[in-house]
Amino acid sequence: MLLTRRRLLGLALASALTACSTTPSPVAAPQTPKLLVMVVIDGLPMRQVTGYRDQFAPDGFARFLDHGRWFANAHYGHGHTVTAAGHSVMLSGAYPQRTGIISNEWRNPETGEQVYNTGDTAYQYIDSPTAPLAGTSPRNLKVETLGDVLRTRSPQSKVIGISGKDRGAILPAGHKGQAYMYMSETGRFASSTYYMQQHPQWVTDFNAAKPADAFFKKTWAPLLPEAAYARSVPDGQTWQVASGNGNRLPAVIGDKMDAPGPRFYGGLLASPFGDELTLAFARAAVKNEKLGQRGVQDILSVSLSSHDYINHAFGPESRLSHDHMLHLDRHLQAFFQFLDKEVGAGNYVLALTADHGFTDTPEWAITQGRDAGRFNSPPSLLAVNTALNQKFGVEKLARAFSASGLLLNDKLAAEKGLDFAAVQATAREELLKLPGVAAVFTREQLLGNDTTTPYLDAMRKSFDPTRAAQLQIVLKPNWVFSYRPGGSTHGSPYEYDTHVPLLFWGPGYVGQGEMKQRAEVVDLAPTLAGIAGLPAPAQAQGRDLKLKP
């Protein structure tokens, strides 16, 4: 009965939405598109795209699924699947082993100091406060991007990256583009002095209008009737983070606040209104920079961050995540139809992907009979150091957890006359004793040629020996590195974290239909390069998927 009711609801919704569909008809296209548009949905596993397909509008995700070319089996090839690493891959076509962006943050192996992936103290945000580890430039990105290739060949071309997160804007924009990111303290979008000394007038005008404030006290309400969410976990679970906007719908953004401020602006990102605001800024960029309308080729990257915040707080299995997908779908539909009018449906190509997937919340997974849990770093570090001290008589031989690994103090070991190989072997043994640890790979293994040991090759693709810790850790399925008792995360080499959408649309440039063969996100840059008539970035490890009709 429930399945029948669900199907009837989906059919009724699809019928109603199809009646108002405005998906453009195929049109003849010039030899190369005037504009390449990459849309990134932060933290979107492919299973959510296919799982809610019956509830989508006719021209959001359905534009790709019904009228474009899409890959049902697209994955990240690297093992530490986090935001910065994924964003470094998309338009470079290279794994993190080459991009150098091994994680969101890591520790310098020489000093132990923290490094942020796009941190660069030489530059500051424009008209906004700049925290010590704020992302301000692509200095740590070791490779060129497709935008860098384009701007080298055509300096008058524009490459713009926009995101709710600094890393989501900076890394796709590359070294020669421009990046704008949301300032969660002020509700404004800002660039940094790496790109320019002051904002263009249109950015100043956009911020002066305070568009974020328009969402103050606005209600995030479910888009569909209650029965439509029967496939998702209800609100208000004990493992769903209740801070911020709460963990139940409807939710009032800015509830119990007197006026917009940093708490409101930060909370806005964890709602559908964060996407709406980011896409409003993207529209302003297209209009005012005349992207795809100046006789040269341009690139626009828009990374929407809200889904990641929502999945972190409530889990991808939640009704809140499900409902956010539906709101996001409608926002995408409006944005795509704006591009049709502003740039012309035959003049641009769309690509949509995600920077990583998502793990189900461990507490939810346990209720489903799975072995799941949380790996808590501080007591784990203490346990390893205690064992090392007992064997070698030296304290703190393990410095800290860094990205997906444990950073050992090789200098201290040398000063004390210790055999570092023995220290490393002991640390590895102790890690393998800890709950939730499936495998620990040494630096020697990661630099070797073994391709048969499970997950070693994936972790190798995440390993930059100049930046990564000596021991790389893989947790058991459904286990997560976690710094808090609720919510969920990502970062593993398992399918739920690697399997992401890879969707294309562009009449005259891209064919139609589902592709079942495996593809990787490293293939995105070479594929877009082929469509655009450009060479792939120099360090690219992917292949052109050859999507032309």
Share of the chain above pLDDT 70, in %: 95
Is 80 exceeded by the pLDDT of residue 277? Answer: yes
Q: Any residues with CB less than 8 A from the CB of 508 and at least 6 apart, and which?
A: 26, 27, 28, 29, 30, 346, 549
Which residue spans within 259-346 are E strands per DSSP?
Answer: 298-304
Determine the angle formed by the axes of helices 319-339 and 306-314, rounding to 10 degrees: 170
Q: Which CATH number applies to 2-28+38-362+494-532: 3.40.720.10, 3.40.50.10090, 3.40.50.300, 3.10.580.10?
A: 3.40.720.10
Select from 519, 547, 531 the least CA-distant residue to 146: 531
Share of the chain above pLDDT 90, in %: 93
User: What pLDDT score does 16 carry?
Assistant: 39
Q: Which CATH number applies to 373-477: 1.10.287.3510, 3.40.50.720, 1.10.10.10, 3.30.1360.150?
A: 3.30.1360.150
Q: Can you spell out the DSSP letters for 95-119? A: -HHHH---SSEEE-TTT--EEETTB
User: What pLDDT score does 13 carry?
Assistant: 41
Which of 19-33, 137-151, 378-392 shows the lowest mean pLDDT across its residues? 19-33
Q: Measured between alpha carbons, how far apart are the two ends of the chain, in Å?
A: 43
Cα–Cα distance measured from residue 293 to residue 287, given in angstroms and rounded to the nearest whole number: 9
- Is residue 97 within 8 Å of 464, Cβ to Cβ? yes
Check: pTM over 0.85? Answer yes or no.
yes
User: What pLDDT score does 483 carry?
Assistant: 73
Peptide bond into 250 cis (omega under 30): yes
User: What pLDDT score does 331 carry?
Assistant: 98
User: What pLDDT score does 9 carry?
Assistant: 37
Cα–Cα distance measured from residue 150 to residue 534, given in angstroms and rounded to the nearest whole number: 7
Reported as a pLDDT band with limits 50, 70 and 90, residue 10 is very low
Which of 187-201, 365-379, 482-496 shows the lowest mean pLDDT across its residues? 482-496
Is 90 exceeded by the pLDDT of residue 98? Answer: yes
Token code pair at residue 232: 């998702």
pLDDT in tens, 451-495: 999 999 999 999 999 999 999 999 999 999 987 789 999 999 999
Average pLDDT score, the chain: 94
User: What pLDDT score does 30 carry?
Assistant: 54
373-375 and 479-481: which strand pairing?
Answer: parallel
Q: Can you spell out the DSSP letters for 329-391? A: HHHHHHHHHHHIIIIITTSEEEEEE-S---PPPHHHHHHTT---EEE-HHHHHHHHHHHHHHH
Give ranges for CATH 3.40.720.10 in the chain.
Answer: 2-28+38-362+494-532
Is 60 exceeded by the pLDDT of residue 221? Answer: yes
Q: Any residues with CB less than 8 A from the CB of 296 and at least 6 apart, and which?
A: 34, 154, 156, 157
Q: Any residues with CB less than 8 A from the CB of 110 and at least 6 apart, and which?
A: none
User: What pLDDT score does 484 carry?
Assistant: 79
Q: Can you spell out the DSSP letters for 190-230? A: E-BTTT-SS--HHHHHHHHT-GGGGGTT-EE--SS-GGGGT
CA of 515: how far to CAs of 56, 64, 85, 549, in Å?
20, 12, 25, 13
Give ranges for CATH 3.30.1360.150 in the chain.
Answer: 373-477
Which of 17-26, 128-137, 169-178, 488-497 shows the lowest mean pLDDT across its residues? 17-26
pLDDT in tens, 64-87: 999 999 999 999 999 999 999 999
Select from 371, 370, 369, 395 the least CA-distant residue to 384: 395
Q: For 27-51, what is the mean pLDDT? A: 89
